[in-house]
Amino acid sequence: MNDKLTIRPAHEADLPAMVAMLADDPLGAARESPDDLTPYLTAYRRIAGDPHQHLVVAVAPGTDRVIGTLQLTVIPGLSRRGATRTLIEAVRIHADARGSGLGTTLIEWAVEQSRTLGAELVQLTSDATRTDAHRFYERLGFSASHVGFKLVL
Amino acid sequence: MNDKLTIRPAHEADLPAMVAMLADDPLGAARESPDDLTPYLTAYRRIAGDPHQHLVVAVAPGTDRVIGTLQLTVIPGLSRRGATRTLIEAVRIHADARGSGLGTTLIEWAVEQSRTLGAELVQLTSDATRTDAHRFYERLGFSASHVGFKLVL
User: For the segment B66-119, what is each residue's pLDDT rounded down to a tens digit?
Assistant: 999 999 999 999 999 999 999 999 999 999 988 889 999 999 999 999 999 999
Give B103's contacts in chain A (Cβ within 8 Å).
none
In percent, the amount of chain A with pLDDT more than 70 equals 98
Instruction: Please answer yes or no on whether B148 and A146 come within 8 Å at the CB atom.
Output: yes
Q: Structure pTM? A: 0.94
**Residue A135: half-sphere exposure toward Cβ, Cα within 13 Å:** 2
Q: Is A22 on the interface with B (CB under 8 A)?
A: yes
**Buried b or exposed e, range B58-76, using 16+ CB within 10 angstroms:** bbbeeeeebbbbbbbbbbb
Residues of chain B neighbouring A82 (CB-CB closer than 8 A): 39-44, 46
Give the DSSP letter string of B39-96.
HHHHHHHHHHT-TTEEEEEEE-TTS--EEEEEEEEEE--SHHHH--EEEEEEEEE-GG
Query: In A, which residues are within 8 Å of B137 by CB distance?
Result: 149
Q: What percent of chain A has pLDDT over 90?
A: 85
Tell me how close the Cα of A12 comes to any Cα of chain B, in angstroms: 12
Helix, strand, coil abundance in chain B, percent, nearest 5: 35, 30, 35
- Over residues A69-125, the pLDDT tens digits come to 999 999 999 999 999 999 999 999 999 988 889 999 999 999 999 999 999 999 999
Distinct helix (H) and strand (E) counts, chain A: 5, 6
Of B81, B123, B150, the CB nearest to A142: B150
A90 touches chain B (CB under 8 A): yes
Do the interacting molecules here have an ipTM over 0.95? Answer: no
C-alpha to C-alpha distance for B19 and B25, rounded to whole angstroms: 11
Average pLDDT over residues B15-38: 90
Q: Which comes out higher in pLDDT, residue B28 or A35?
A: A35
The letter for the amino acid at A140 is: L
Span of A52-66, A102-116, B20-34, B137-151 with lowest mean pLDDT: B20-34
Query: B5 phi and psi, to 5 degrees?
Result: -55, 140
> Which of B:44-83 have CB within 8 Å of A?
44, 46-47, 50, 52-53, 55, 71, 73, 75-83
CA-based radius of gyration for chain A: 16
Coil, strand or helix: which one is B3? coil
Section A3-32 average pLDDT:
90
A2 pLDDT band, cuts 50/70/90, is very low
pLDDT at B1: 46
